[in-house]
Amino acid sequence: EVQLVESGGGLVHAGGSLRLSCAASGLSFDHFVIGWFRQAPGKEREGVSCISLSDNNTNYADSVKGRFTVHSDNAKNTVYLQMNNLKPEDTAVYYCAAALFLCSWDPLQSDYWGQGTQVTVSS
């Protein structure tokens, strides 16, 4: 059974930093990618970042480039999203999701989802 568990959300002031973790179990790191998505109230879920677990290739949405960094610790089966210089518009529930082989910004392409963690950035 595949399980994804996010942690690390919280409340920070604008300009602050948070590190989210996604602990994965039950999946092969050779075949999956892990995407980070977020959903703000009243808005659609959007892709933020993605990492291929086999070769550490990464992708970022334009809105977070230069501020967010994703990396994987395969020994710990954990993917991290380091978020720096946070802005109020980054406020959302953040989810990690697993998909086979290819990164996609389309949430429907992900097969497994974590429960989400709230990130709130105050101005």
Confidence of residue 45 (pLDDT cuts 50, 70, 90): very high
Are 33 and 102 in contact by the 8 Å Cβ rule? The answer is yes
Buried b (16+ CB within 10 A) or exposed e, 34-53: bbbbbeeeeeebebbbbbbb
Statement: residue 30 has pLDDT above 90: no
Mean pLDDT over each residue of the chain, to the nearest integer: 95
**What three-state secondary structure class fits 108?**
helix
Statement: residue 86 has pLDDT above 90: yes
Q: Give the pLDDT of residue 27.
A: 87
Average pLDDT over residues 75-103: 96
